Structure 1
Amino acid sequence: MFLIKRIKAILLLVLLTVGIKSTNSQSIAVPIVDSDYVHATFEELDFFRNEIKNVKVVALGEASHMSGNTMVAKTKMVKYLHKQCGFDTLAFESPMYEMAILNNMLQKGTLTAKDFFGNISGVWNIEEMDELFNYIVETQKTNRPLTCVGFDSNCFRNFGIGAIEENFKAFVQRLIPSPNEQLDSTVYSALHRVVMGAYSFKKAAIADTLLLYDTFNDLRIRLKDVKQDVDYYAFWKQIVDNFQTIYRTNYNGSNRDFQMAQNVLFYQQKNNSKLILWAATYHIANDLTSIKYYNNPKINEKVMGTYLKKAFGKQYYAIAFLPFQGKAGVDGALGLMKRKITTKKNSIEKYIAGTTDKEYAFVPLRKEEVQKLIEEKGLTQVNMFGASTRKMKIPEVVDGLFYLKNERLIHYH
């Protein structure tokens, strides 16, 4: 009798083991242990660390800027990439000029975590960013400080730190020391109007764009002959290009994404840095052509990630953060700007939720077995942009997915 019971127990164990293996073979996601998430160790992602050992740029994308849990999850990934994977520069979808001033203060030890608020793009002036900003400041006391820059071509107009118009004038006077060759006041007036139009939908006057176009081309020619203070002038060359992008963007939105890619390339090539990008998923996507909405000729399908993928190839790795359920929006906003996260039957989030009960998981989309399973299961719906799903060829759009079971509202400071 004892022998029979033992045989039954062994058979049951075998059946359970086979069942577990069968279930795992259908999983596309690697579950993340809660403690590893809290401490940003991600021991389950050793394969990912090996996969990105030669990668120069990892981009972290958020489906919505108003996603509280996503911001915390991205913070954990920044810590992991910095501590475990050798990435040393964090670049935000925030104005290049103002972020350069913040980084200078950071390196001098005069910047506090609170100083980020009000001097970075407003969507990140939230409590959910506290952990990240405190971490950035704390790293300055170590032998591996995290550099913090911006790649957006916009500027904060005259409300930003650093007096961008005055410093542009100082740059011009330094580049062109002769009093007889200084720029006319009409140029600075035109620039002022363009700067004040940043982050707006107002088109710059044609007369202003023509005047600035000729002026900027002349400055670029002069910059080619620079032999000293190379870093200073290289930075201002990017700012000149950014100024031009500001007035061009409202005529053609693709200009901004192209210039943001150029700004990322500038920082990567400057010190051969390993960069982490923090932006909306839309901007970091590799390829949007499989998404019907973006195949509209009036919609820009070439985004920053498209240019970066062309420049870096497999050394560019885009990760989309995906919420399965919950709400995105602002807490305490009387219901305004709050949206319930929705997922469809054949969405990849719903499939992941059915294969793991963990709060977080990672999907390595470059792995052939994962791509094959996604195709076999017909997983074409994903909540990658906004709070609702779109149909697409997921492995073509990004390289990895960071799954979040629950999303929550953001809390503004």
Structure 2
Amino acid sequence: MRCLKRFSMTFLPYQRLLLLLFCWLGLLNATAQPMQTATGLAYHRVRTVDPADPDLTDLAFLKQEVGPARVVFLGEPTHGEGNVFEAKTRLVRYLQQQGFGTVAFESGFYEVARAQQAIEAGQNPAACLAKSLFPIWTHSREFQPLTALVGKGNLKVAGFDPQLSGEYSEELVEELHAFLGDKSAAVPFDYLEEVITAMGLFYTFPPTHQYDLFNSAIGKATKQLRQVAAADPPRRAQAEFWLQTLASLNALARSYAQSDAGAKGAEGFKAQDSNVRDQLMADNLLWYLRQHPTEKVICWGATPHFAGPLAGLQNPELQAFRPMGSLVKGALPAGQVYLLGTATAGGAYGNVHGPRQTVPTPAPGSLEAQLAAVGPEYLFVPMQQAALRTTTASLFEYQPVAGNWSQVLDGLLFLKTVRPPVYVEPAVPPTPRDSLRLTKSSGGTLAADVRRRLTVRAAGPGPATGQVHGVVLDQQTRA
């Protein structure tokens, strides 16, 4: 009896622990079960978007939502919602716990790779990001918590944009020259430098230069890089990186030369004008995934680029647009890609260098109006629902579009109100960018009227956007 009594006394704490464990598991299960709106729309309640909050249990439902996905896209409506940056950073923290190891940005393919190299060499991650990402993020206070998640033994970074971004872009041609070494004699680096500088400054192909000559210069560098890749195994991976960098830049240059979308302005720019860029962004990301076959990647950028097929939306212009998200999803096995967007029903927005605007009041019956009526500040909506096959939503630049939104995104994080980001001094003070560095060796000069045109286009207070029949696809930072 004494032994039995002793056993009972020692067993009781374990019973309590088991009871607590079952209660905790039950709470997690309850958190993972969706609730329903009055109209029958399933949703999950999200407790906070504060990236510093240590408790992530309210996001437990995401494990089932994301499933076996290797790539999760985290979209934002306009690059002008500060608390969306915070919300996305919190999602990044959760996904990091689920084994995701890289954040890939809608910023320069070369520049962010250069930042990762510098971070691995022990340099400050925030400073490296400030020299590689577009300033719409790095100059925003709400983006800063993300930089704390990057570094040695932490998240890696990558870029997928063919456009040039950040101070590191100024080192591209010089670094390529150094990499090729004694194989560089045949490559006209001055010509490459002039064109690439213009592309980085003005998002255009310089009218003083010829694309055929640039293409020839790229071809000569490509030939030398292929020789390095074939004959020098220790440098093969870096040579392949350079091959992808130049292929992406060359395709973008060809697009600029043939159809200068950035010069069309808000009225002339059409959604399909971004098709080349979106294809190149998809190509760059897929290249990264092939080079890192076990890596799980979080993508950070704009919802329009991260959308799935748009054929089901009742907007002919959008139907002609081929977003990066749809291309990547089509290229990878089923279940490997999860497209997550963000939405709101009120507040204000505007990128950190631009004017502020009020979020339009959602139309009655729209997706945003339904979610606002639920009550909580933050909700998550699984988009694969019958109710979303025919609805109106304003997920692209706050313009209402009707159609089958269940094909466009896999999930949607809803914030009842948004607010613009707050400017913060960058980790690295910006350096004055030269105008076009045209050298005597090329014989190129900018006519006064061309110089004025390019200078005016580059002198605005911040990234330009163009309204496209209910959607803004960026032209300078490219949302």
CA distance in 2, matches of 1:22, 1:128: 31
How do residues 29-40 of structure 1 correspond to structure 2 at under 5 angstroms? 29-34=43-48, 39=53
2:412 corresponds in structure 1 to 401
The corresponding residue for 2:290 is 269
When normalised by structure 2's length, the TM-score is 0.70
Measured in 2, the distance between the counterparts of 1:389 and 1:128 equals 27
Name the counterpart of 1:128.
142
Alpha-carbon shift at residue 214 of structure 1 (Å)? 3.3
Distance 2:400 2:299 in 1: 24
CA contact (8 A) 1:119 1:160 kept: yes
Deviation at 1:300, TM superposition (A): 5.2
Percent of counterpart pairs with the same letter? 24
* C-alpha distance 353-58 of structure 1, shift in aligned 2 (>3 A): same
Q: Which residue number in structure 2 is paired with residue 305 of structure 1?
A: 325
Equivalent-residue separation in structure 1 for 2:203 and 2:322 (angstroms): 20
Gapped runs of 5+ residues in structure 2? 1-34, 260-272, 425-479
Question: Which position in structure 1 is the counterpart of 2:401?
Answer: 390
- Counterpart in 1 of 2:302? 280
Give the match's secondary structure for 1:309.
helix
Q: Distance in 1 between matches of 2:192 and 2:207?
A: 9
How far has the Cα of 1:148 moved from its partner?
0.9
Tell whether the 8 Å contact from 1:128 to 1:411 is kept in structure 2 after alignment: yes
AA aligned to 1:363 is: V
Q: Kindly provide the amino acid, as one letter, of the partner of residue 62 in structure 2.
A: F
Q: How far off is 1:221 after superposition?
A: 5.0
Aligned residue runs from structure 1 range 167-206, under 5 A: 167-173=175-181, 176=183, 179=185, 182-183=186-187, 185=188, 188-198=190-200, 200-205=202-207
- Alpha-carbon separation, structure 2, partners of 1:287 and 1:332: 31
- 2:346 corresponds to 1:325: yes
Matched, 1:50 2:64: yes
Say how many residue pairs are matched: 369
Give a deviation string over 1:125-170, Cα, whole Å, max 9, x none.
Answer: 2101111112224xx3x4xx2001111111148x436611211222
Give 1:38 deviation, angstroms: 5.6
Structure 1 pair 190–161 and aligned structure 2 pair: CA distance change class (3 A): closer
- Indicate the SS of the match to 1:411: coil
Q: Are residues 222 and 392 of structure 1, via their aligned partners in 2, closer, same or farther at CA, if it must alter by over 3 Å? A: farther
**Structure 1 pair 196/388, CA: closer, same or farther in 2 (3 Å)?**
same
SS in 1 for 2:363: coil
Shift of 1:344: 1.2
Give a deviation string over 1:298-342, Cα, whole Å, max 9, x none: x85112112101111421111001112111015796xx3423343
Displacement of 1:291 in angstroms is 3.1
- Equivalent position SS for 2:60: helix
Paired with 1:263 and 1:315, the residues of 2 have a C-alpha distance of 17
Which whole-Å deviations, capped at 9, do the CAs of 1:45-74 have from their partners, x for residues lacking one? 434313434211100000010111111101
Q: Which amino acid aligns with 1:395?
A: S
Structure 2 vs 1, CA of residues 164 and 219 (structure 1 numbering), >3 Å: closer, same or farther? closer
Question: 2:115 matched to which residue of 1?
Answer: 102
C-alpha contact (below 8 Å) 1:36/1:42 kept by paired residues: no
Q: Does 1:88 align with 2:101?
A: yes
Mapped to 1, the partners of 2:118 and 2:407 lie a distance apart of 39
Counterparts in 2 of 1:359 and 1:199: CA distance versus 1, 3 Å: farther
Question: Is the Cα–Cα contact under 8 Å of residues 111 and 164 in structure 2 kept in the other structure?
Answer: yes
2:175 matches 1:155: no
Q: Which residue of 1 aligns with 2:449?
A: none
TM superposition score normalised by structure 1: 0.80
Q: In the superposition, relative to structure 1, how do residues 200 and 241 fare at CA in structure 2: closer, same or farther (>3 Å)?
A: same
CA contact (8 A) 1:286 1:396 kept: yes
The change in CA–CA distance for 1:258 and 1:72 in structure 2 (over 3 A counts) is same
Residue type of the partner of 2:194?
Answer: H
RMSD of Structure 2 on Structure 1 (CA): 2.9
CA separation of 1:292 and 1:110: change in aligned 2, threshold 3 A: same
> How far off its partner does 1:398 sit?
0.9
CA–CA distance in structure 2, aligned partners of residues 50 and 70 of structure 1: 22
1:7 is aligned to none
Say whether residues 1:359 and 2:377 are aligned partners: yes
Partner of 2:11: none
For the 8 Å contact 1:101–1:162, the answer to whether it is kept is no
Secondary structure at 2:150 match in 1? helix
Residues 28 and 373 of structure 1 are in contact (CA less than 8 Å); yes or no, is this contact kept in structure 2? no
Equivalent in 231, 248, 251 of residue 245 of structure 1: 251
Distance 2:64 2:155 in 1: 21
Contact 1:94 1:121 (C-alpha < 8 Å) held by counterparts: yes
Secondary structure of residue in 2 paired with 1:130: helix
Alpha-carbon distance in 2 for matches of 1:40, 1:94: 29
**Aligned with residue 276 of structure 2, among 224, 249, 255:** 255
Opposite residue 77 of structure 1, the aligned amino acid is L
Residue 312 of structure 2 aligns to which amino acid in structure 1? S
The residue matched to 1:135 in structure 2 has which SS? coil
Query: How far, CA to CA, are the matches of 1:23 and 1:91 in structure 2?
Result: 34
